[in-house]
Amino acid sequence: IDLLPFVPKNDKECLDIIEAQALSVYKRLKHIGIEKTVIGVSGGLDSTLALLSLAYMCDKYQIDRKNIIAITMPSGNNSDVTYNNALKLMEGLNVSSREINIKEHVINELKTIGHDSVTKDITYENAQARYRTFTLMNTANMEGAIVIGTGDMSEVALGWSTFNGDQMAMYGMNAGLPKTCIKVVTKYFENIYPDLKDCINSVIGTPISPELKGNQLTEDIIGKYEINDFILYHFLVNGDSGERIV
């Protein structure tokens, strides 16, 4: 039994996934008739892969990387590690980078609806994710671009996202890739962009977290992605029953 059935088994399979991502986004942009994309960069695994694949797409199809508008939006709950990795990625890839601190905007929104802006409940968490999407969408309209979603297939299957927040995008670049696959493909990018090796390793080595409040580790809440993806594979690909998977 393959314990990691979604994970690419060799370099060719990793490159095939990257090529598919690049072609799919390029085809979408050609169909719309634009070359600009907007992406939120958190310094986490999913947005890192999406940004790297966007850069690869630009290189492959002769599009200026400055057409990638990468925005990091700290809210006060981000770690220094993820924040610095986001900045290093954007700078290292030479994309159009922007930093928008959303902390006060989120507090204002919470106060507007009568929230005390201190209690770290689901409203507090989701307000941050929704404000980020709000900012990305408005920027895309202003720039004549589309928002590239970074959420992965494991998150989609589990519902691990903010409705009307990171659940929304104009093109979900990672939507067909489960988390265990994303980690390995991101690692492969060291071969393509060796100057970013240290940053990529830092991203991969950082515990997965939505960073919407302190000490929030995703796998402590929803379980290990290796287990979730194993179940997802046998349910989705093999059509196995719950009883058989157990």
Cβ neighbours, 10 Å, residue 19:
14
List CB contacts of 209: < 8 A, sequence separation 6 or more. Answer: 44, 79, 216, 217, 218
**Quick one: average pLDDT of 46-63?**
98
Q: Look at residue 163 and tell me whether its pLDDT is greater than 90.
A: yes
* Coil, helix or strand at residue 10: coil
Q: Look at residue 214 and tell me whether its pLDDT is greater than 90.
A: no
Q: Look at residue 13 and tell me whether its pLDDT is greater than 90.
A: yes
Q: Look at residue 126 and tell me whether its pLDDT is greater than 90.
A: yes
Cβ neighbours, 10 Å, residue 59:
14
**Quick one: average pLDDT of 205-215?**
94
Global pTM exceeds 0.85: yes
**Quick one: average pLDDT of 78-102?**
97
Q: Look at residue 159 and tell me whether its pLDDT is greater than 90.
A: yes
